[in-house]
């Protein structure tokens, strides 16, 4: 099972907090939803009494509490007549608080560290579900600060991932890049960002679910998994999808994003930065996979393993391959 029983206990309140935020009619109720979400995520990160788990929980809680403090400051300030004269400064505060919650640059420092200390199911929640509510709130408070965040997230995401071989940290920086793409869609008032997040969630799940049965965080060790060479090849294809290689799902959502940005007269400079970040992320994913392939003998890879603990992961690799391959075809045909 991908989510352990201890995590499943807090998942309902985690989901409820995000839904409350999304469906809120006021900033205060949205803040309450985010706090419920935070109080549920902290014990999920602390599901094991280990130093790494404790470190991840403390770091996550401190930075999320800081973001919540900035958000409640915005809520209280906006209700006082004196602070109306501050104008855009309040928008800068709320933008900073929400991007801090997501882990976008320049407020990203906690995100790779928490990812490194978390297990794979926790990483999946951090990479996907925890972005939903803050992104929806960001869609209601556009300001010029967004362009700077998009630029810095794309830049820091590609620079931070170049020299990384720890897969969790690499996924964290890749997530920062994908967040910059989603924020660019929010800037253009395009609801396609929701589909982008959904597609990114499917791709991330197709990668993290098989890895959840393997304790290592370094890609060189993943070839030791008890999968056949064919299953490992499909697993690599899922990595190529999140890297944006055509004709897979990760490439398709970026093509549709680019079309939307051009149609909305988005900044050409920022589009070029986003494209450059995608090329660099494709490079460090490809480099990681090739270094793994050349450092490991393929002789044992042609042996099929019948261990029951790996059967579900193998089937999931097959299913995720078809999702990454055929959903883009369906989108094009429709």
pLDDT tens string 75-94 = 887 766 444 555 577 888 89
Most confident of 3-12, 118-127, 221-230, 311-320: 118-127
Whether the per-residue pLDDT at 291 is higher than 70: the answer is no
Q: How big is the chain by its Cα radius of gyration, in Å?
A: 20
Cβ atoms < 10 Å from Cβ of 280: 19
Pick from 202, 198, 281: nearest CA to 240: 281
Give the model's confidence band at 304: pLDDT under 50 very low, under 70 low, under 90 confident, else very high: very low
Which percentage of the chain shows pLDDT scores above 70? 75
Whether the per-residue pLDDT at 155 is higher than 70: the answer is yes
Least confident of 43-57, 205-219, 289-303: 289-303
- Give residues with Cβ within 8 angstroms of 299, minimum separation 6: none
Least confident of 28-37, 227-236, 254-263, 268-277: 227-236
- Model confidence, pTM: 0.88
> What angle, 0 to 180 degrees and rounded to 10, lies between the N-to-C axes of helices 229-243 and 192-211?
150
Burial of 163 (0-12, 13-18, 19+ CB in 10 A): exposed
Give the model's confidence band at 320: pLDDT under 50 very low, under 70 low, under 90 confident, else very high: low
Cα 146 from chain centre: 18
CB 115 within 8 A of CB 168: yes
Alpha helices (H) in 244-334, listed in sequence order? 249-263, 268-294, 308-333
Pick from 125, 114, 311, 295: nearest CA to 204: 125
Per DSSP, what are the bridge partners of residue 217?
A: none
Cα–Cα distance between 227 and 9 in angstroms, integer? 31
CB 306 within 8 A of CB 256: no
Among all chains, which residue has been given the structure tokens 């253009």? 188
């Amino acid at each position: 099972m991908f989510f352990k029983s201890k995590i499943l206990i807090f998942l309902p309140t985690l989901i409820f907090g995000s839904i409350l935020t999304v469906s809120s009619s006021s900033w205060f109720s949205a803040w309450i939803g985010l706090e419920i979400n935070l109080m549920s995520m902290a014990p999920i990160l602390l599901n094991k009494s280990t130093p790494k788990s404790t470190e991840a929980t403390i770091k996550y809680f401190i930075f999320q509490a800081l973001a919540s403090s900035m958000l409640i400051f915005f809520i209280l300030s906006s209700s006082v007549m004196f602070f109306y004269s501050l104008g855009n400064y309040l928008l800068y505060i709320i933008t900073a608080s929400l991007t801090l919650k997501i882990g976008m640059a320049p407020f990203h420092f906690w995100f790779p560290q928490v990812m490194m200390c978390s297990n794979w199911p926790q990483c999946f929640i951090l990479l996907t579900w925890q972005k939903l509510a803050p992104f929806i709130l960001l869609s209601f408070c556009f300001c010029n600060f967004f362009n700077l965040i998009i630029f810095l997230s794309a830049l820091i995401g590609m620079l931070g991932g170049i020299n990384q071989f720890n897969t969790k940290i690499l996924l964290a920086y890749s997530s920062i890049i994908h967040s910059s793409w989603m924020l660019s869609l929010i800037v253009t008032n395009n609801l396609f960002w929701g589909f982008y997040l959904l597609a990114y969630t499917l791709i991330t799940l197709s990668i993290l679910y098989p890895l959840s049965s393997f304790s290592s965080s370094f890609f060189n060790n993943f070839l030791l998994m008890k999968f056949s060479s064919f299953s490992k090849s499909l697993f690599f294809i899922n990595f190529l999808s999140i890297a944006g290689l055509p004709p897979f799902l990760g490439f398709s959502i970026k093509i549709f994003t680019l079309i939307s940005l051009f149609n909305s007269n988005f900044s050409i400079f920022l589009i070029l930065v986003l494209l450059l970040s995608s090329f660099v992320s494709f490079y460090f994913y490809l480099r990681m996979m090739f270094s793994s392939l050349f450092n490991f003998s393929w002789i044992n890879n042609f042996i099929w393993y019948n261990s029951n603990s790996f059967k579900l992961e193998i089937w999931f690799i097959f299913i995720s391959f078809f999702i990454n391959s055929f959903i883009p075809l369906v989108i094009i045909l429709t």
